[in-house]
Amino acid sequence: MRELIARLIINTAALYGAGQFISGIHVDSWGTALWGAIIFSVLNMIVKPILKFISFPITCLTIGLFSLVINGFILYLTAFLSSIQIDTFGAAFIGGIVVGIINWFLGMIFLADNK
């Protein structure tokens, strides 16, 4: 449960950070980012594995780079289902990269195994 809450907080910070760094993404407040993080987490658990399975041949042909398009699509879908605004798919694509980097960095800091 602690890791789930930590992931939710990290996703919230990542979405808010993407809204600050990328001009085509508009996140009004931390509350908007939190609601977007909840939707983003659910989509990552349910929709993303299905998309990865369907696009496996394309992902292999592009040496894994198509997964960046999937991340952008998940972020774009998050914006569609929440009050986050994304102007173009290009902004969602770059936002997916930024969210991924922020998630990775904060996950390394706050979710490190203490074993």
Determine which of 36-45, 73-82, 85-94, 106-115 has the lowest per-residue pLDDT on average: 106-115
Best CA proximity match to 48, nearest among 17, 74, 23, 11: 74
What's the predicted TM-score (pTM) here? 0.89
Best CA proximity match to 89, nearest among 78, 104, 100, 102: 78
Task: Measure the CA–CA gap between 115 and 112, rounded to whole angstroms.
Answer: 9
pLDDT tens-digit map of 33-51: 999 999 999 999 999 999 9
